[in-house]
Amino acid sequence: MTSLPENPSKTKLGLVIDLDTCVGCHACVVNCKEWNTGGYGSPLSDLDAYGANPVGSWLNRIHTFEVSPDIAPASIVHFPKSCLHCENAPCVTVCPTGASYKRAEDGIVLVDEDMCIGCGLCAWACPYGAREMDPVEQVMKKCTLCVDRIYNDNIPEEDRVPACVRTCPAEARHFGDLGDPNSKVSELVAERGGFDLMPEQGTKPVNKYLPPRPKTSGTQYPAENEIADHADGFLGWVDKMLERL
């Protein structure tokens, strides 16, 4: 089986995802697919994309949940999910060929597709369901943190971040060194109470999530009879409301 780095660097590159500002638009999902399909690795396949049984590989997915807390009003939370580049990555230690490995210099977990035999053990070991078997290539695919972008001196500096981060219109995704307590991402985690996904698994994921802020009760719309009973009708009621501002 494969071993984790014995002397890893203090650098821990990863993502901080803000669940409060993610709008579930899937821009990160689409741009991730486009970049990785046209990048250094083999394409992320799509079979029967517009048919009855579409299958394919995606390195980033978004799940949407309706949350109904006891006190606050119900709300929708969009939950992006990809590889969390865990410090204690079980997907690495179960790999029989060394295809799955964790880089000592920056903590990124990658797959050497030439060494992958498609056994699927890493997918079984990952508690987050963040690995996918490509149905065409028959090798395991996963988020690479766009390692071919972040170190690429041939592209503008502002583009040297993962494709999902660069394309997010709500700026809900942040990239940086989570091993540096003074980095912007670490300060953001400390400020907003960022948390690990499923910490009980002991995987120590590098990626962090920022919790949704408490929701208010929202705009209180008037009852129909309140408007109807107003002497000046609807326009009079509007004037009354504006006077309160």
CA-to-CA distance for 154 and 79, rounded, in angstroms?
33
Mean pLDDT, residues 90-113: 97
CA dist., res. 240 & res. 185, Å (int): 46
Confirm whether 8 is domain-assigned.
no
| Domain match, 120 and 226 both | no
Name the residue range of residue 77's domain.
13-210
pLDDT at 70 over 90: no
Does 5 map to a domain? Answer: no
User: Residue 202 domain-assigned?
Assistant: yes
Give me the DSSP letters along the chain.
Answer: -PPPPSS--S--EEEEEETTT-----HHHHHHHHHHHSSSS----EESTTSSS-EE--S-EEEEEEE--SSSPPEEEEEEE-----TT-HHHHT-SSS-EEE-TTT--EEE-TTT-----HHHHH-TT---EE-TTT-SEE---TTHHHHT-TTS-GGG-S-HHHHH-TT--EEEEETT-TTSHHHHHHHHHT-B-SSGGG----S-EEEPPPPP-----PPPHHHHHTSTTHHHHHHHHHHHT-
pLDDT digits (tens, 9 = 90+) for 174-203: 999 999 999 999 999 999 999 999 999 999
Q: How far is the C-alpha of 109 from the C-alpha of 131, rounded, in Å?
A: 11
Q: Does residue 130 surpass a pLDDT of 70?
A: yes
Query: What's the pLDDT tens digit per position in 142-176?
Result: 999 999 999 999 999 999 999 999 999 999 999 99
**pLDDT score of 26:** 96
Q: Are residues 206 and 224 in the same domain?
A: no
- Amino acid sitting at position 181: P
Question: 168 near 78, Cβ under 8 Å?
Answer: no
β-sheet bridge partners, residue 176: 14
pLDDT in tens, 18-48: 999 999 999 999 999 999 887 665 678 888 8
Question: What CATH number is associated with residue 152?
Answer: 3.30.70.20
Same domain, 123 and 229: no
In a domain, residue 2? The reply is: no
Q: Is the residue at 4 inside a domain?
A: no
Question: For the residues 79-86, what does the mean pLDDT come to?
Answer: 96
* 230, 187: one domain: no
Query: How many structural domains are present in the chain?
Result: 2
Q: How far apart are CA 114 and CA 150, in angstroms?
A: 23
